[in-house]
Structure 1
């Protein structure tokens, strides 16, 4: 179940960058780049801790980690930009659109209908953008 192996001599930052690209792809890189002019140190922390330390741990595969993340962000109800990044990440690590929709709907039980609605609308945007991008690649 281990998804990331630490290379000998690999720093937290290097391990985190590798995980960020694999999980979040361009969406994650855009978040980090957007912090460069205001808080470059925070961008480094964002790579090192969540991705270099937590996501790189054995015990859960990336699918399971994204299920938990999508559920948590949906339950928060007010973090649409981060939720969209992680819906995209869920698709990147093998979750289907139907699975993501079910994860978000499940949160209506624990976080309420408004949080689930916000999550579903975020997913709808990500799915539409991804479909448009896929069509552009084919054309």
Structure 2
């Protein structure tokens, strides 16, 4: 039977979002937020409050699963390379593996096409190399 996911935790959405961003994406995530402050500070706040404070803080999926799903989606979209790289780092930061990243990107070939999967693997190669340095 269907069991509803518990509501988002109460409290300060911004603080919760900032903590989730730090836990998941670390410095790379903060760079994205910082890059928005001079042109779209409201968008930076929305990303923190909604995406990380509300969505990422839900209890229905663990963080590695959330990041794996996000890597799959970014791969399938094919137009969000910078975000794919951030979320590949995020996946690895929260306990996901390189093998899982490669597998989910490979699976996207059947749903989003080979060009999307090949571009996703190129992004993964860059992220893995950066982490090996």
Superposed, 1:12-27 pairs within 5 Å as: 12-27=13-28
**What CA distance in whole angstroms lies between the structure 2 residues aligned with 1:47 and 1:27?**
14
Q: Which runs of 5+ in 1 are unaligned?
A: 133-139
- Please list every run of 5 or more consecutive structure 2 residues that lacks an aligned counterpart in the other structure: 1-7
Please give the per-residue CA displacement for 1:63-113, whole angstroms capped at 9, x wherever unaligned. Answer: 110111000110001110000000000000111111101110010010000
Alignment of 1:1-139 (within 5 A): 6=9, 10-132=11-133
TM-score by length of 2: 0.92
* Corresponding residue SS for 2:59: coil
Secondary structure at the counterpart of residue 125 of structure 2: helix
Counterpart CA distance in 2 for 1:109 and 1:20 is: 31
Q: Deviations over 1:106-127 (max 9, x none)?
A: 1001000000011000000000
TM-score when normalising by structure 1: 0.88
Residues in 1 aligned to 2:113 and 2:13: alpha-carbon distance in whole angstroms: 37
Partner SS for 1:32: helix
RMSD of aligned Cα (Å): 1.4
Counterpart CA distance in 2 for 1:25 and 1:75 is: 24
Q: In 1, distance between residues paired with 2:86 and 2:49?
A: 18
Counterpart position of 2:3 = none
Separation in 1, partners of 2:32, 2:117: 24
- After TM superposition, where is structure 1 displaced by more than 2 Å over at least 4 residues in a row? none
